[in-house]
Structure 1
Amino acid sequence: MDLALERLADRMHVVSLPLVTRFRGVEVREVALFSGEAGWGEWSPFLEYPPEEAARWLRAALEDADLERPAAVRDRIPVNATLPAVGPDAVAGVLARYDGCRTVKVKVAERGQTLDDDVARVAEVRALLPDARIRVDANGGWNIDEAEHAVRALERFDLEYVEQPCATVPELAELRMRVHRLAIPIAADESVRKAEDPLLVARAGAADVLVVKAQPLGGVRSALAIVAEAGLPAVVSSALDSSVGLSMGAALAGAMPSLPYDCGLGTGALLAADVAEPLVPVAGSIPVVRVTPTPELLATHQASPERTAAWRARLAAAHPHL
């Protein structure tokens, strides 16, 4: 390990944070945190992501730790509740963790489940919160025909938008034409944050809304530039971050000139433990603040030596791609 990489590894703290409920196939979220001159930054690409992709997340973490954040134009960010692919009987318990949230993002197209499961979950949200804004997120899990069928089945619940219904930009563009008369906007997430060209989806007319995340897009400044160039309304979201990562997302949302949608930055409510005082919704919003981990919580949730070694190996693999 060269000297620069060794020094970087010495700044890294790896923690394992349990979740309240299984989400995205995991029950424990592993997160790497870096201390720096400006504060703390989070590096938390999911474990299946390759080094080239993880490097963008690393760039964001180091920028956030070492540089002051862009000036904010608002001091609080309205956030949505995020509902995993749970059964209807579990919906109320999950939503109760989101104080005052007026918008709910419902996960759909979960592997091993059916459209009937999705409809039942969304129906339960609408029954419990008749005035809420409901958006659904398929994470690219449907093909075009499945997505069209699903959108028509869910349309009666008055959806705010459908997030990443299909995996590819051409599919999104085709679906957008098919459901145009329903006036349900199409939002793009993976087609922005995982793309070699995050602006392609906007140029192709394949989405009405961009979902942007600070870490996958290389940092707050890079994400701001992408939103400005795309010229589409944007929603700032998170990737099941600790409160350190959520504060980076809040910094991005706080610096955006316009914030027309509630943001997906309330996912701290899905963690059973955190590295600091949890950045969770209060009266439907979170503050634009830096979060500093406490030594006690870093120690309590420190990852095992084996998992720490695995993250050091990830760091060594991603570092050359910075």
Structure 2
Amino acid sequence: MHHWQVKIWLYRQHWHCPWDPQQSIRRGLYLQLQHPEGSCSWGEIAPLPGFSSHTLSESFQQLTDFLEHRHDASLRSAATYWGIQCAKEQRPQAEPDSLNQRYPLLQGDEQAILSYLEQYPGPLTLAKLKVARRALTEEVSLIAHINQAYPQLKLRLDANGHWNYQQAESFLAQINTANLAYLEQPCASLADCLKLAKADVPIALDESLQHQRIDAQTLANIQTLVLKPTLLGKNTDYYLQIAKTLNIPISISSSFESRLGLLQLKSLANQYGDLYPGLDTLRYFSHKQVTRLIYFRQFADNPLLY
């Protein structure tokens, strides 16, 4: 009798330059589904500490509960849901070199950012810069330096919701908005973001999408939806449909997954015509990865179907 086999691997990978000094190691799970004829499909389950609503141990528990009982109500972890979907749908991985076709993610101090741009190997037409990390005068000065050195470079500025409306308004009044591709999640408050969008500021939403399902009418003035399947889970498909209904762009974006997860995200971006997905995160990891088998079981039928 042919069986379906499920293996779950725990991986550990050191940060090359941690985005959070308290998080020196990135941990996640690989879900491996071996089909009866011998082929395998994969999914990555890697909740991001500080952003995901469930921990890695909670996500693992939900995964094993689902495998044992086949009940999707147990899938409250967005990361677990996304990993299962990738394995169940046999989501392909994009070609490995496709991750080189990216636009850079810029974070760190001014010297590090400008140095990285000087050494960037490809054409510079688009970059993403983390803002709301420094004093306002420093932010404005950095953007002015970038605009002067790279006048053709469009910037996606990501505040991760760290400003209130007045701070965002003050920031926008002091930069050259002609080089602004969009301002991503300037405020934690959805209402403040929508207010800026109605004032003709190109606004993208990220964190607000993770907290609730927002209807199409509310999102009518938003320029771009930034979709992170590891954090959105079931809501990924919902917002893909909203974007199609409104005919607005999406940006498939990384939550610091490993290479496997990034290649599957690139495949999703290709599927939906996202030419500039936000996947420039692999360089923040060391190359060495350690994996360990933590679960193995055989099933008479496909355990991911419910």
TM-score by length of 1: 0.69
Judged with a 3 Å threshold, the aligned counterparts in structure 2 of structure 1 residues 152 and 24 are, in CA distance, closer, same or farther, namely farther
Judged with a 3 Å threshold, the aligned counterparts in structure 2 of structure 1 residues 35 and 262 are, in CA distance, closer, same or farther, namely same
Q: Classify the secondary structure of the residue corresponding to 1:146.
A: helix
What is the letter of the counterpart of residue 40 of structure 1? W
Q: Classify the secondary structure of the residue corresponding to 1:139.
A: coil
Structure 2 residue corresponding to 1:262, chosen from 260, 263, 276: 276
Structure 1 residue corresponding to 2:49, chosen from 42, 47, 50: 47
Match of 1:298 in 2: 290
Judged with a 3 Å threshold, the aligned counterparts in structure 2 of structure 1 residues 33 and 96 are, in CA distance, closer, same or farther, namely farther
Cα distance in 1, alignment partners of residues 245 and 92 from structure 2: 17
Q: Are residue 248 (structure 1) and residue 284 (structure 2) matched?
A: no
Q: Classify the secondary structure of the residue corresponding to 1:154.
A: coil
Match of 2:204 in 1: 187
Match of 1:115 in 2: 136
Structure 2 residue corresponding to 1:105, chosen from 128, 151, 155: 128
Q: Classify the secondary structure of the residue corresponding to 1:99.
A: coil
User: Is the contact made by 1:138 and 1:166 (CA closer than 8 Å) also made in structure 2?
Assistant: yes
Name segments (4+ residues, structure 1) moved above 3 Å.
Answer: 24-28, 75-78, 92-99, 199-202, 219-227
**Aligned-pair distance for 1:54?**
6.7
Match of 2:62 in 1: none
What is the letter of the counterpart of residue 64 of structure 1? C
Match of 1:217 in 2: 232
User: Is the contact made by 1:214 and 1:223 (CA closer than 8 Å) also made in structure 2?
Assistant: no
User: 1:147-166 counterparts in 2 under 5 A?
Assistant: 147-156=168-177, 158-166=179-187
Match of 2:112 in 1: 90
Q: Deviations over 1:48-99 (max 9, x none)?
A: 3333997111111122123222799xx9575220011x22211134346753
Cα distance in 1, alignment partners of residues 9 and 168 from structure 2: 41
Gaps of 5+ in 1: 1-6, 275-296, 309-321
Match of 1:30 in 2: 27
Q: Classify the secondary structure of the residue corresponding to 2:261.
A: helix
Cα distance in 1, alignment partners of residues 280 and 79 from structure 2: 20
Cα distance in 2, alignment partners of residues 32 and 200 from structure 1: 32
Q: Classify the secondary structure of the residue corresponding to 1:173.
A: helix
Cα distance in 1, alignment partners of residues 14 and 242 from structure 2: 31
Judged with a 3 Å threshold, the aligned counterparts in structure 2 of structure 1 residues 136 and 238 are, in CA distance, closer, same or farther, namely same
Match of 1:11 in 2: 8
Cα distance in 2, alignment partners of residues 41 and 139 from structure 1: 27
User: Is the contact made by 1:33 and 1:42 (CA closer than 8 Å) also made in structure 2?
Assistant: yes
Highest CA radius of gyration, 1 or 2? 2
Superposition CA RMSD, Å:
3.3
Gaps of 5+ in 2: 35-39, 60-74, 295-305
Judged with a 3 Å threshold, the aligned counterparts in structure 2 of structure 1 residues 159 and 175 are, in CA distance, closer, same or farther, namely same
TM-score by length of 2: 0.72
Pairs aligned (count): 260
Cα distance in 1, alignment partners of residues 126 and 151 from structure 2: 11
Match of 2:192 in 1: 171
Match of 1:69 in 2: 91
User: Is the contact made by 2:31 and 2:83 (CA closer than 8 Å) also made in structure 1?
Assistant: yes
- Identity in percent: 25
Quick check: 157-166 or 25-34, which moved more? 25-34
